[in-house]
Each structure stands twice: as C-alpha cells, then as structure tokens.
Chains A and B, each alone.
Chain A
Amino acid sequence: MKPIERNLRIAGCLTLVGLGVTLLSLAWKAPLSFILFAGVGAVLTFAGIVIYLYSLVSAAGTP
C-alpha cells in the first residue's frame, strides 16, 4: 500500500469516528452531549482533516 493510501485510511478512520460521535451527540439531548461533540467528535474530525491535508502535502513533496 502506498504511503498516501495508508495516510488516507488513517485520516478516514479518524474522521469517520469523529463524525459518528458527532451524530451520536446530536441524538443525545443533554448538556453533556455538547461536551461529547466538542471534546471528542470535533477533535477527532479535525485530526482526520489535518492528517488528510498532511497526506496531500507530503505526497506532493515526493518526486
């Protein structure tokens, strides 16, 4: 597997879990659901996006 494909998989997994937690937090109507969204869902989603962008940059950098 190429490095970029491995990075895309990692980014995809993180973003998938993050969005899954976000969906769960929307279904759960309680004050703690915002903490779940902001502390877990959004953080994982953001991490996945960052890794995706890094994979683009690192792939562009390799000859």
Chain B
Amino acid sequence: MTLPGPQTLLYSALIVSVILIAIIIFKPSVTATQGGKIFAFVALFILPILGTLGAASDQIERSKHTAFCLSCHIMEPYGKSLLVDDPLYIPAAHFQNHRIPADEACYTCHTNYGLYGDIHAKLGGLRHIYIQYLGTPPAPDKITLFTPYNNRECLHCHLGARSFESNEVHKAIMDSLKSNEMSCVTSGCHDMVHNIDSLAKTKFWSPANETN
C-alpha cells in the first residue's frame, strides 16, 4: 500500500477546507460553542493557509518543468532545438543524453545558481509572462538573455568533473572561466547553443527512431 502523494494531500486539504467553510457559511451558529470556535479556526485559518502555501509550492515546482516553458508558442523553436542531431549543439547534447533532467531541462540551465537564484529565476519568469501577455514579445530569433550567460551555471555541474578538469584547454583557462572573464558559450568554444535561426538546415533526432 502506497501513501498518498503530496499533490493528492494538497487537493484533499483544499477540498476538505471548502466543505468545512461551506458548513460555516450555511450555519454560522455552529461557531457559538467552544468546539465550534475551534472548528471555525481550523476551517477559516489553518486549512486555508496550509492549502495556499501548498498550492504556491506546487505552482512553483510546476514552473520548472520543460513542458511548462515550452507551452508558450514563442518557445516552440527553442524546444525544437533540444532535438537537433548534432553533438556540438550544447542544449541538445545535454538534453538528449540526460546530462540534465529532461523534464526540467530549461530550468536546470536557465536558473541562477546564486544565493537567491531561485527567486531571481521566478521573478524573471513573471517578467516573461508580462511581456508575453501585456508587452510586445520579440520574434523567437530576437529573444536574448536579460544578462549574459554566467559561467557559474555551467560550472555548477562541470566543476569537479573528471572529464572537464582533465581537459588541457580547460586547465589552461580555468581561472578565466571561474571569474567569467572568458565565457563558456561566447568565446568560440561552445558557441552552438539554441541557434534557432539555423534550425531549418539541421537534422533532428527522434527518440522513436532509436527504439525501432
């Protein structure tokens, strides 16, 4: 027998809360007794707060999923770029070989691994929503990062890894990489990122083909 998952518990808490509140709305006199006052406190304070916090956590976790990012039409070419059949394309090579979690591919690379990185990433997401629905979104190939890509996001995984550290080129420029003096993705070494303006000329990998 498995325990109910967190989402099931969250939905259950919200539904129970709704039912209890409905009782208070239709019969507020139940709160006249001491037991009724405790009942009202649970129904109108404890459960709504717990439910709202749980819902907020669920919403934030959901926003990390690849499908969430790609649900906006403007991101379609970027999603396609994850399937480019060319190991030089950095996002495609990471995604197809599960070097990053496939279901959180966008978030893994585009979050900020600083102290308040998660919050920065989420605020950036709100800005995206604002531009998408209230602003003028640029064409997909005109989208640029708000700030230059920080090597920290690459080094978060690669630093300390044997293949990275033993590479002679990396050894020679390690200090420059760590200090962001030389960028991982714009210095001529790993510059093939999403490159969506060249997608029409590229070949794509299909997971279905590999299983046949």
Contact = CB atoms under 8 A, between A and B. Distances in A.
Interface of A: 1, 4-6, 8-9, 11-13, 15-16, 18-20, 22-23, 25-26, 29-35, 37-38, 41-42, 45-46, 48-49, 52-53
Contact of B63 (A1, A25, A31, A48): A31
B40 interface: yes
A6 B67 CA distance: 45
A61 to B, nearest CB: 16
Contact of A48 (B28, B48, B68, B129): B48
B40 A8 contact: yes
Contact of B71 (A15, A18, A19, A30): A30
15 contacts: A1-B28, A8-B28, A12-B24, A12-B28, A19-B14, A19-B21, A19-B48, A23-B18, A26-B10, A26-B55, A41-B52, A45-B48, A45-B52, A48-B48, A52-B44
B25 interface: yes
B44 A49 contact: yes
Contacts of B133: 32
Contact of A29 (B14, B68, B129): B68
B45 interface: yes
Size range of the chain B interface in the assembly: 35 or more
A31 B55 contact: no
Contact of B25 (A16, A20, A33): A16
Contacts, number: 100
B48 A18 contact: yes
Secondary structure call for the B interface: helix
A33 B125 CA distance: 13
Nearest to A33: B59
Given A16-B25, A19-B14, A19-B18, A48 B44 contact: yes
A12 B59 contact: no
A14 B140 CA distance: 41
Contact of B44 (A12, A26, A41): A12
Interface in B50-94: 51-52, 55-56, 58-59, 62-63, 67-68, 71-72
B171 to A, nearest CB: 42
